[in-house]
Amino acid sequence: MARSGSQSVERALAVLQCIAEADGDIGVSEIGGRCGLSVSTAHRLVQALRAPGLVSQDQRSERYRLGPGAVALGRRAELRLGVSRLEPHLRDRLAACTGESITLGTRLGNEMLVVSHIPSSHPLRVGHPPGMRVPLHASAIGKVLLAFTPDRSAEIAALGPLIAYTDATITDHAALLKEVTTTWQRGWAMNDGERDVGVRSIAAPLRNPDGTAWAGVAVQGPSARLPDDRLDELVDVLLQVAQQMASEIV
């Protein structure tokens, strides 16, 4: 019985995530197809999510979208994470100083979840909207989240197969452990075209008093605007701001 209850929760969460990630409103048949559920099961779970307002339905199209209840949960999560207190640092210090896109992210399973993003003012820029998820091994923020954990080796082994997104993606667990160990030693991480060709990012951890990272902050942009001879300057600014951000929340 416990397994049945657990399975229902997992399915409901999968349906909610599917609706959240849909490009516009989505029908119940498509929800079922994406989640590997029958239409009747998908419909039952959607109706359960409608009750607390997590999902709402357009009465004309009969398609679904996130509801006001999801907004309320998101706002509460933002308050708990202190996002509103951190955004002035992201906007007024990092984005204004570097001219590049700035992302704040935290861990969600084996992925980095974007919780806040300040886009660059340049026409050519990197975009990571809140809610976007990126595998830890292909993200600068993901690397700092892995680096500042009690057991880096175990965390990396638990990731399972490492998917290649570009020729530069690290797909070997031993190589990723070496990279993450270097990240821990120097205090910051780099993603050099490992998720998107031609995109470079550097990230620093926001650490708890015990030294573990509960979030990370990154500066991202086209590789041409983040050359090697600019990294020292950017890293200095990033580490200073990250340390102050962490001290205000912890």
pLDDT, one tens digit per residue, over 19-37 is: 988 888 999 999 999 999 9
Looking at domain 82-249, which CATH architecture does it have? 2-Layer Sandwich (3.30)
- In the prediction, which pLDDT does 179 show? 97
User: In angstroms, what CA-CA distances link 107 with 49, 88, 100, 112, 181?
Assistant: 24, 22, 23, 5, 18
Backbone angles phi, psi at 14, to 5 degrees: -65, -40
Confidence of residue 4 (pLDDT cuts 50, 70, 90): low
Residues of the chain with CATH 1.10.10.10: 2-71
Confidence of residue 10 (pLDDT cuts 50, 70, 90): confident
pTM of the model: 0.75
Say whether pLDDT at 2 is over 50.
no
Query: Span 2-71: which CATH code?
Result: 1.10.10.10
Between CA 26 and CA 136 the distance in angstroms is 28
3-class DSSP state of 170: coil
* Of residues 28 and 249, more confidently modeled: 28
Residues of the chain with CATH 3.30.450.40: 82-249
Say whether pLDDT at 193 is over 60.
yes
Backbone angles phi, psi at 101, to 5 degrees: -70, 145
